Structure 1
Amino acid sequence: MARPARRGGGPRGGDQGTPAFIARGDGRDVFVALQSGGRAQVEQDGRTTELRAGDIGFFETIRPFRTTFPERFQLKIFAVPRNLLGRSEADLRQLTARAVRPSGGLPALLTPLLERLADTSEAYATPVGERLAEGVLDLLAATAADRLGEDTAVLPGADRVLLLRIKAFIRWHLSDSGLTPRAVAQAHGISVRYLHRLFETEDTTVCQWIRELRLHECCRELVARAAGSVSLGQVARRWGFTSPARFSRAFHSSFGLSPTDWLDRERASRGTGEVPC
């Protein structure tokens, strides 16, 4: 997720979809607006809706849209890369100008997270901010699927919300070497057996999911660091691996190379823009 912004002011209205305004949208981002205060009337794709305080709305700038603010308002807008949201153009046309009310389910969890993230986004160190954004993206993608009436989840609604919350918790505590299934289960007031059952619907295990996230973060940091500026052991421990040997075994098991060989290969091909992890 990128570029959270706040807009506010007194009553006003007008066509925000003029050719000049639309031209600034290149289609790579979908915009998610949280109506933090006041009201907004939004028109796009042949629909009109009213956003009230706490409501969430999707919109795009590559097609005409119109917003009217009949009273003082505060709007918090997030630019979400389209590829991360995973929706087609046809899907997005069904999502725009529809108010997502925080009355229950996923929206009730998403609204306070967006509110908090918009107000504090600059306070987080990069790794923490990125993990938090990934958790919010999961919730946004699930909310979009739910609004489109997709029955893709094996879990019932309450368990879906719980699993998303657990995933966000794991991302937040990924650097903690004590992040075990028991610790995760205790933090959410459930049994370890029930935690494993939630992850069975994802075709993975809790430990495997944590390990893959840690490896991904290690890869990303190793690529970003200058050669010789940090050791493999330092990076491994920073992301929760208890020893360099355990990190190396996990890395080789997942990628078929040692961390050193992978990093040498990656640095030799940095100009390709490809990151194997």
Structure 2
Amino acid sequence: MVLVTEFKTEDLPVAERFGSWHDMTASVLIPNAIRSDHEADFRASARVLGLGAVEVSALAYPSLETRRTTKLIRCSDPESYQLLLNLRGSHRILQAGRDTTSGPGEVMLYDTSRPWQGWASADQDTVGTVGGVMVQFPRALLPLPANKVDQLTAVRLPGREGMGAVLSGYLTQLVAGAATYTAADGARLATCTLDLLTAFLAHHLDAGASVPPQTHHRALLMKIHAFIQQHLGDPDLSPGAVAAAHHISLRSLHRLFQDQDTTVAGCIRARRLERCRRDLADPLLSNQPIHALAARWGFADPAHFSRAFRAVYGLGPQDYRQQYQADRAPCGTHRQAPGTPRQ
């Protein structure tokens, strides 16, 4: 089940803000000793997604210092890892003999069973806040050797390229869409999150042999979907190009899509058509020629685009645009767009 908790200290009396944040993080994440120069008026927010044993939190707070002591660990130790995607400001941590500082776009892994001391510092251009996405998950759920994972504790890892970019994009979208998830999504999202974390950490450990095959496949499939989304506008995007970009054979690529209820080419075509449909319904693009919108999303042949669009939505692109404009409510709100995709 997906349990979403929104917490804003600004909803509370000023005198209660810092104490409430301290209590919330101790309850939802883990107990830490926290101090801050902003305790008198502590303005912070959290959006926490409970995905069973996995918790994903979007956090924003002023500069502060945290300390997890041996005493706190004895009192409460969930035997978990915390992985932080840093989005704003800087995070410095002392743990396992390492002293590491990460900046925006970087990732760090913490072990809740080891003492640490950390500092989060806001930059002048971040409006006084530090921000990031935190994933907390039991160590037992990570299918990698513990002694190898220890090598990555308090190590700065890149989050803007390769597997790091895939992980960063997934986590930011995950917390942004929190309000749309159903109870049935919880277990699936937990599995996707753990698979991607495993693939990311294994990449930096070069421990691919330790990762279960199904985890490899799911993580690779997520990476492929992200690649397709990023290259929809390339008219040369094809199954062959996707396979080559991921250093796998075309046959292996098709095998990955066997359980996807679509082919690779079908996935590319469906995503392109959906992008075109959105553009046709966008009043800000009403003066753009249809062939230009189609070309923007990889359809070089206008006639082919028109046939493909009609086959899915039951209307030609021009008719769809005209009907959508006609169905707009006079007050400026919109009714449901026409053209439901055909099964």
Specify the TM-score bucket, using the shorter chain as the normaliser.
0.5 to 0.7
CA RMSD of the aligned region, Å?
A: 5.0
Tell me, in whole angstroms, the C-alpha distance in 1 between the residues paired with 2:234 and 2:285. Answer: 26
Match of 2:160 among 102, 116, 127: 116
Q: Any conservation in 1 of the 2:280–2:321 contact (CA below 8 Å)?
A: yes
Tell me the CA shift for residue 14 of structure 1: 4.4
Unaligned runs of 5+ in 2: 1-17, 25-40, 51-55, 85-107, 111-115, 122-129, 145-151, 178-185, 196-212
Match of 1:77 among 132, 139, 157: 132
Match of 2:248 among 160, 185, 190: 190
Q: Which amino acid aligns with 1:223?
A: A
Counterpart in the other structure of 1:274:
336
Tell me, in whole angstroms, the C-alpha distance in 1 between the residues paired with 2:319 and 2:170. Answer: 29
Counterpart in the other structure of 1:199:
257
Q: Identical aligned pairs, as a percentage?
A: 30
Counterpart in the other structure of 2:190:
144
Tell me the CA shift for residue 216 of structure 1: 1.0
Counterpart in the other structure of 1:219:
277
Q: Any conservation in 1 of the 2:280–2:320 contact (CA below 8 Å)?
A: no
TM-score (ref. length: structure 1): 0.57
Tell me, in whole angstroms, the C-alpha distance in 2 between the residues paired with 1:189 and 1:165. Answer: 12
TM-score (ref. length: structure 2): 0.47
Q: Which amino acid aligns with 1:145?
A: T
Tell me, in whole angstroms, the C-alpha distance in 2 between the residues paired with 1:250 and 1:26. Answer: 41
Counterpart in the other structure of 2:102:
none
Number of aligned residue pairs: 211
Unaligned runs of 5+ in 1: 1-12, 57-68, 80-95, 122-131, 150-154
Tell me the CA shift for residue 220 of structure 1: 1.6
Tell me the CA shift for residue 72 of structure 1: 1.2
Counterpart in the other structure of 2:221:
163
Counterpart in the other structure of 1:8:
none
Tell me the CA shift for residue 273 of structure 1: 4.7
Tell me the CA shift for residue 99 of structure 1: 6.4
Deviations 1:167-219 (A, max 9, x none): 11111111000001111111111111111111111110001100111011111
Tell me the CA shift for residue 261 of structure 1: 1.4
Tell me, in whole angstroms, the C-alpha distance in 1 between the residues paired with 2:326 and 2:46. Answer: 35
Counterpart in the other structure of 1:15:
20
Tell me, in whole angstroms, the C-alpha distance in 1 between the residues paired with 2:49 and 2:335. Answer: 19
- Structure 1 pair 215/72, CA: closer, same or farther in 2 (3 Å)? same
Deviations 1:32-85 (A, max 9, x none): 459xxx96769xxx98667466249xxxxxxxxxxxx94313664259xxxxxx
Tell me, in whole angstroms, the C-alpha distance in 2 between the residues paired with 1:143 and 1:223. Answer: 30
SS at match of 1:230: coil
- Structure 1 pair 27/72, CA: closer, same or farther in 2 (3 Å)? closer
- Structure 1 pair 190/233, CA: closer, same or farther in 2 (3 Å)? same
Q: Any conservation in 2 of the 1:236–1:247 contact (CA below 8 Å)?
A: yes
Counterpart in the other structure of 1:181:
239
Tell me, yes or no, if structure 1 residue 265 matches structure 2 residue 312. no
- Structure 1 pair 18/274, CA: closer, same or farther in 2 (3 Å)? farther
